Amino acid sequence: MPPPSKKDKVIIVGAGVYGLSTALSFLKDGFEDVHLFDKNDYTSQSYSWFKGCDSASSDMNKIFRSSYGDKTHYQKMSLASRDVFLEWNRMIAEEGFEGGEPVYINSGNVHLTDQHELPDFERETLENMPDGTIDINDPRATEKALKKGLSEDSVDPFLCKSRGIKLQGILDTTGGTMVADKMCRWVLHLCARTGGSRFKSHLGTEVQELLVEYNQSTGSKKCVGIKTKDGNCHFSKLVICLMGAWTALIRPRSR
């Protein structure tokens, strides 16, 4: 199948982190007709569990890390995304978006074990990310943590050393906490701002099924759109389902 033209309509089902980031990428690439659907009306519900949002992206917080042992492809993706998060922190502060507080809190992420030696995962992380990790038993661990802007407690959580508790572990200095619900609200805001009239939000519109076109002569089939529970049909050459755990509710109907 040839790639879609930038003038073609694009339908994205699911307005969690995957759907939002996909929509923003299409808009930044200049696509002219991007539609985002979700059963939740995130504009009024604010990605809040307390207002009925049940997606994983609606959590109040998520853990961020770049430490992946020998899985350096994950490490590279994480570090690349961190650059974006730092830029978003700067933009949010400058614009005062929802008070200007950051969506990425770089507090560090420590991995601990009571084993006598570092497990392979942590040892490989130290080898593959030497500038971003600290062995908590390094004599200069506290000094290194402070230079990264982290507290001395980050390499001695629970004051284990002063209590005579011997642990092994590493500190991922890039790690921390994502304010997940606010992050989603920010990216939805970016979609609207970046896309303008090119971005159409259908939040609060639940998808009932995929529309599938069958070719009797070849036996092939393709998705040509979606039908929503309000009875409307929306047609598109490209339909992307990014519904997390809910994807299976409509995916089998395309088979």
Topology, domain 10-58+181-254: FAD/NAD(P)-binding domain (3.50.50)
Q: Which of 67-71, 78-82, 113-117, 130-134 has the lowest mean pLDDT?
A: 113-117
Give the domain ranges of the chain: 10-58+181-254, 66-174
Please state the pTM of the whole predicted model.
0.91
Mean predicted confidence (pLDDT) in 145-159: 93
The model's pLDDT over 76-126, given as tens digits with 9 standing for 90+, comes to 999 999 999 999 999 999 999 999 999 999 999 999 999 999 999 999 999
DSSP string, the chain: -PPPPTTS-EEEE--SHHHHHHHHHHHHTT-S-EEEEESS-HHHHTT-GGGT--SGGGSS-EEE----TT-HHHHHHHHHHHHHHHHHHHHHHHHTGGGS--SEE---EEEEE-SSS--HHHHHHHHH-TTTEEETTSTTHHHHHHHTT--GGGGSGGGTGGGT---EEEEETT-EEE-HHHHHHHHHHHHHHHHGGGEEEEET--EEEEEEEE-TTT--EEEEEEEETTS-EEE-SEEEE--GGGGGGTGGGG-
- Flag whether pLDDT at 140 surpasses 70: yes
The model's pLDDT over 209-241, given as tens digits with 9 standing for 90+, comes to 999 998 888 888 889 999 999 999 999 999 999
The model's pLDDT over 3-51, given as tens digits with 9 standing for 90+, comes to 889 999 999 999 999 999 999 999 999 999 999 999 999 999 999 989 9
